[in-house]
């Protein structure tokens, strides 16, 4: 596939990816699951750089869900270690590529080492103006919505806002993603066709793209293919085709 086929005026502003299939990729090759995650981290690096090259404004990656804490302790520990190593290793490249890092999720549940590394990279890349990369870590959409409901209810109870003022803008402001636009394109790899508690509110009008490719095999060409599919669709946001023309 050729980048020229992509219309640079109609890029999705916000691409979100459910990176799935690291374990199966490793299993297929008779390797340990952690080798799949390591190859997955390499695919993250390549995908972020491809997105930056294309000029994608926001890229959000589902790196660890609230449900992933249920995995065997050794896998969780190695994943956290890989995260720290990747963040350390990638800081320089992120700066070179003008990438700004952010994170969403119940971040206080992450090991201290991960929190410190994450905060450092977020701080050091905060003035970069290129692709805004958000890692969803210890993330669950229902938890995010629950937190928003609690915060809004407390404001109503304390007479900070009247109940009648609650609208989509107020709800958006209480989500982890308060500084992000809605998702335009959601990609999931590995052939699974589900959302798995990812950005439930923010994908209301997203185009969904599922590919059988396992996450470690995902590359620049795969991203282009997904965006091309997005560009061929008509986004009506509830209107009719005629109203759009």
User: Under the criterion CB under 6 A, does residue 133 sit at the interface with ligand FPP?
Assistant: no
Binding mask 187-206 for ligand FPP (x = CB under 6 A): --------------------
- Which of these is catalytic: 2, 20, 158, 172? 20
Is residue 182 part of the annotated active site? The answer reads no
Sort residue 207 into left (φ over 0), alpha (ψ -120 to 50) or beta: beta
d(CA 189, CA 174) in angstroms, rounded, equals: 29
> CA 165, 171, 174, 179 torsion: positive or negative?
negative
CA 3 to chain CA centroid, Å, is 23
d(CA 11, CA 7) in angstroms, rounded, equals: 7
d(CA 188, CA 174) in angstroms, rounded, equals: 26
41 vs 52, which CB is nearer to ligand FPP?
A: 41
- Which of these is catalytic: 7, 9, 22, 68? 68
Find the part of the chain contacting ligand FPP (CB under 6 A) among 38-46, 121-129, 164-172, 222-230.
38-46
User: Under the criterion CB under 6 A, does residue 24 sit at the interface with ligand FPP?
Assistant: yes
d(CA 196, CA 21) in angstroms, rounded, equals: 14
Report 79-108 residues binding ligand FPP (CB under 6 A). Answer: 82-83, 86
41 vs 206, which CB is nearer to ligand FPP?
A: 41
Q: Which of 12, 21, 105, 140 binds ligand FPP (CB under 6 A)?
A: 21
Find the part of the chain contacting ligand FPP (CB under 6 A) among 4-12, 14-22, 145-153, 176-184.
14-22
In 3-state terms, what secondary structure has residue 202?
A: coil
Which residues form the catalytic set?
Answer: 20, 68
């Amino acid at each position: 596939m050729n980048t020229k086929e992509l219309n640079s005026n109609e890029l999705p502003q916000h691409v979100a990816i459910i990176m799935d299939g690291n374990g199966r990729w490793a299993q297929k090759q008779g390797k340990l699951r952690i080798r799949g995650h390591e190859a997955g981290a390499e695919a993250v690096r390549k995908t972020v750089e491809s997105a930056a090259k294309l000029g994608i404004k926001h890229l959000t990656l589902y790196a660890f869900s609230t449900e992933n804490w249920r995995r065997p302790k050794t896998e969780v520990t190695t994943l956290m270690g890989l995260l720290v190593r990747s963040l350390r290793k990638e800081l320089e490249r992120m700066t070179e590529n003008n990438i700004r890092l952010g994170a969403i999720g119940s971040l206080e549940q992450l090991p201290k080492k991960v929190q410190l590394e994450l905060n450092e990279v977020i701080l050091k890349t905060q003035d970069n103006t290129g692709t805004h990369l958000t890692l969803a870590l210890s993330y669950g959409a229902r938890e995010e919505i629950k937190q928003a409901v609690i915060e809004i209810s407390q404001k109503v109870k304390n007479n900070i806002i009247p109940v009648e003022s609650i609208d989509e803008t107020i709800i958006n402001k209480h989500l982890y993603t308060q500084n992000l636009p809605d998702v335009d394109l959601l990609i999931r790899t590995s052939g699974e066709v589900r959302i798995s508690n990812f950005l439930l509110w923010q994908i209301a009008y997203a185009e969904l793209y599922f590919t059988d490719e396992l996450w470690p095999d995902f590359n620049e060409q795969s991203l282009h293919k997904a965006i091309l599919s997005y560009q061929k669709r008509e986004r009506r946001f509830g209107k009719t085709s005629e109203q759009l023309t």
